[in-house]
Structure 1
Amino acid sequence: MMAVASSRRTFVAALSMLAAGAVLTPASFGSTLKGRKLKVVMVGTGIRGTGFWAKRLLEKYSNLVEFVGLCDINPGRLEYAKKFLGLDCDTYADSDFENMLNETKPDLVIVTTTDCTHHKYIISSLELGYDVLTEKPLTTDESKCQQILDAERKSNNNVIVGFNYRWNAYNTKIKQLLSEEVIGKVTSVDFHWYLNTYHGASYFRRWHGLRHVGGTLWVHKATHHFDLMNWWLDSDPEEVFAFGALEKYGSAGPYRGNSCRDCQYTKRCDFYWDITNEKEDMDLYVANEEYDGYVRDNCLFREEINIYDKMSAQVRYKNNVILNYSLTTYSPFEGWRVAFNGTKGRLEARLDIPYDGERTFSQKDLHDLEMNQDGSENVTSEQIIVHQLWEKHDTVKVSLDRTGHGGGDEKLQEKLFQDPDATDPYNRVAGLRDGAMSIMVGIAARKSIERGEPVRIAELIDLEPREKRI
């Protein structure tokens, strides 16, 4: 019993250092637990929980990790996940979440539920003495965010947010160049993200289209983008002024049906999606609709949709950098552009803009590759432009694996579960403060649209923005 307790304390110390972005001294989670595997439970057995976290951990790190419990609000989805993953662990209803923790006594709780419920599992886990790895976004509003912050402060445990975009080789190269001040001190940034009519539309047919569930795409999707920017700039956002509207999807649509499976407009609707061709979606979602009523192929023109489909914001950082940001959800292509203006020049980066060169992947293939966890040889050479004042521009080439969010999924999990002691000069593991600051930009943007005025983040939660994050 003493050996297990000692191992437990060592693991907590390791996770605490990870959450703070520090270098670890233990060799790995496996070694800190003195020969036994890391005991993990997961709440939320949708596609992200089963497909990315659970399935990949079992395939890649089965010598280090064992799942000792699964929990979900939907009993059918729960049983499917257990079978899909080939697990022999106990399963628990949502109402039995705390019983699962008390009975299994895990080393780590993984939270992959709907965004608006993250807080209750995170807080319960911390209060009962367990560490948490949560999917992004941390949560959906400032009240829940403050509750999580308070809970971690009162506990001896920690929260890590699963930001994988930091680990993408292309994004890491941008971080390196900015850290080296190749364009001097950054003064302003233009950052524009384009979701295509395949990926972008999917948010509006799912639960993400409801503000109270996903917090709008200002939070669910843009948390990735704001976390990247906070990390790239190494500073905290301070004030936000934003605009947004719903003009393409929801009630703005030309017609609507109950779902794509039950719609009279399938031959006329450009967004028609036949879920019956997707076996995993049929088995995971359609077969279990009776339990919670969640329809995976819902109409993206339904009246209840109340999020924005076009968004624009101006963000002032504590270090006085000004960010101009936009998110489009119905672009003909999927990609992004960012440009950093500095005292000594300009750095431009962009991915998947079809006019910048030959693209061998279709728009659907790009999204499939991003979500693919099986690995492949889809490596492309991408460019970053560094243009210093009064000089010719330089082109920096970066090799990028197109699978698993640009290779970020694999690198993130390798760091967390295999090599937590490996030195990372870029501090890519995201702790609770990182998760909070990323969502607070989007939350402040929502409030700015509603109020018609700038919103200061320090007015919403008790984290005072820092000029330098680390």
Structure 2
Amino acid sequence: MKKRYAICGVSGRALGMFAKPIATTFSQSCEIVGVLDRDAKRFELFETRFPDHTHVKKYGESEFDRMVEETKPDVIIVAGRDDSHAKYIIAALRRDLDVITEKPMVTTGEDCRRVLDAERASKGKVTVTFNYRYAPIHTKIKELIMEGKIGRVTSIDLNWYLDTHHGSSYFKRWNRLRELSGGLSIHKSTHHFDLVNWWIDQKPVEVFAYGALNYYGPEGEFNPSKEDGRHCETCKYTEDCAYYSRWNSRKEKIQVPDDHLGSLVGEDKTYPYTNYRPDQCIFDSEINIEDTYSATVKYDGGALLSYSVNFSLPYEGYRLAINGTKGRLETVEYHTQSRIPFPTSKQTIEYFPLFGSKDTIHVIHREGGHGGGDPLLLEDLFIGEDRRRQYNILSGAIDGAYSVSTGEAVWKSVKEHRPITIDEILKQQKYSSSGEMN
């Protein structure tokens, strides 16, 4: 019998990351029985992408209970706008259903607590799709630390860079409003905080951070005119906008697709949404999130993380160093090779023992999104976890909660100019890896 999935939020990620593999690669054992969204146009997009699935039942945003009653799903996939996650995760858990949710799990520490409480009272479990864990380089780093190559982890340096194409895309969409996304220290940085938490197997306890809006919003240095309400497709200033002209030709607007939208724009060049366009001006005054962060995170095992992220740089990637009592690991990655304006070599891991010579570790790279991690994650989700691994890799609700609470602590520290404890965000409740309160 096939496992039955219902999808809440027919987003680009829902279509590409979940619906497509269920409808193709895993169709022998999985099926989509319902989709839910606030915008009926997204159902049209779903049927355009998957013409063999026009029979799948469609439901409005307030019809979750009816969808469950009529379609009887085994698993709810939550992949809508970030601020909608908590509602559907908790509703599913109250019906003892398993949940697969896109990151971030939720957008606030308060919602983290609500999800953890709901999961403890439920037969259902939450899985957060942190696909970066599955990239071969990242799993190798986990294995090296577990093997004791660098001893006890003492400090981590992680600097993440987003280029002017990808970084600016967040400021064209709903992500630019904190009330919808939690800000980029949550929407984006949860990926990074989860990686560190998982690599070192320690829990964050305190955060201090600085942050600013340096590139986007009306005061951005490349803003050609302080005029709200523009859209890239119709803007008269495109030739004067460095962010636009860097990635688009003059003869055809919106030539380079947004990383997260893919080919959502149809052949008629209209956006498949009601009252929403993902090409809003990156210099609008309503933008209320930061584009630059520098943070320090203290962990319960004594490790210290020095973290930075910048959403407007000439190239994309990250630099990582993990230090321990017996040595150091280093790696540099350049993302989206087609947009890197200089030659790059295959990513390796450099291992420096505290006393001895350097060793370069080559890792077999895989095809697929997020450094080759997406296909491996999907296999675990829709076939079952690979039991040959010597470590847990699928993320649960507690992993989602610690990554979100770290992100919230970052921007609260920025706003309040003081250290923020994770206990403060989670209201003194400490959770084990199983989600139980200690």
TM-score by length of 2: 0.90
Q: Which residue of 2 aligns with 1:42?
A: 7
Q: Which residue of 1 aligns with 2:266?
A: 283
2:319 and 2:378 map into 1 onto residues whose CA distance is 27
Query: Which structure has more helix as a fraction of its residues?
Result: 1
1:313 and 1:429 map into 2 onto residues whose CA distance is 26
Give 1:258's match in structure 2, choosing from 220, 230, 255.
230
1:40 and 1:134 map into 2 onto residues whose CA distance is 12
Q: Which residue of 2 aligns with 1:295?
A: 277
Give 2:424's match in structure 1, choosing from 447, 451, 459.
459
**Shift in CA distance, 43/365, structure 1 to aligned 2, threshold 3 Å:** farther
Displacement of 1:269 in angstroms is 0.7
Q: Which residue of 1 aligns with 2:404?
A: 439
Contact 2:207 2:295 in 1 (8 A): yes
Q: Which residue of 2 aligns with 1:319?
A: 301
Give matches, 1:21-170, under 5 Å: 36-86=1-51, 87=53, 88-170=55-137
CA RMSD of aligned residues (A): 2.4
Contact 2:233 2:254 in 1 (8 A): yes
Give 1:404's match in structure 2, choosing from 356, 361, 369.
369
Q: Aligned residues: percent identity?
A: 41
Contact 2:136 2:373 in 1 (8 A): yes
1:309 and 1:85 map into 2 onto residues whose CA distance is 36
**Shift in CA distance, 224/40, structure 1 to aligned 2, threshold 3 Å:** same
Structure 1: unaligned runs, 5 residues or longer? 1-35, 354-359, 367-379
**Shift in CA distance, 465/125, structure 1 to aligned 2, threshold 3 Å:** closer
1:467 and 1:401 map into 2 onto residues whose CA distance is 29
Which amino acid is the alignment partner of residue 63 of structure 1? Q
Alignment of 1:345 onto 2:345: no
2:435 and 2:353 map into 1 onto residues whose CA distance is 26
Contact 1:185 1:344 in 2 (8 A): yes
Q: Which residue of 2 aligns with 1:15?
A: none
Q: Which residue of 2 aligns with 1:333?
A: 315
Q: Deviations over 1:324-364 (max 9, x none)?
A: 000011110101011111111211111118xxxxxx93217
Displacement of 1:445 in angstroms is 0.8
Displacement of 1:144 in angstroms is 1.3
Q: Deviations over 1:356-390 (max 9, x none)?
A: xxxx9321799xxxxxxxxxxxxx84211111123
Structure 2: unaligned runs, 5 residues or longer? none
1:186 and 1:467 map into 2 onto residues whose CA distance is 19
Residues paired across the two proteins, number: 415
Q: In structure 2, the residue corresponding to 1:218 is in which secondary structure? A: helix
Structure 1 moving runs of 4+ over 4 Å: 276-279, 465-470
Contact 2:315 2:341 in 1 (8 A): no
Alignment of 1:424 onto 2:389: yes
Which amino acid is the alignment partner of residue 177 of structure 1? L
Q: Deviations over 1:45-69 (max 9, x none)?
A: 1110001111122111000101000
Which amino acid is the alignment partner of residue 49 of structure 2? F
Q: In structure 2, the residue corresponding to 1:458 is in which secondary structure? A: helix
Which amino acid is the alignment partner of residue 339 of structure 2? Q
Q: Which residue of 1 aligns with 2:242?
A: 270
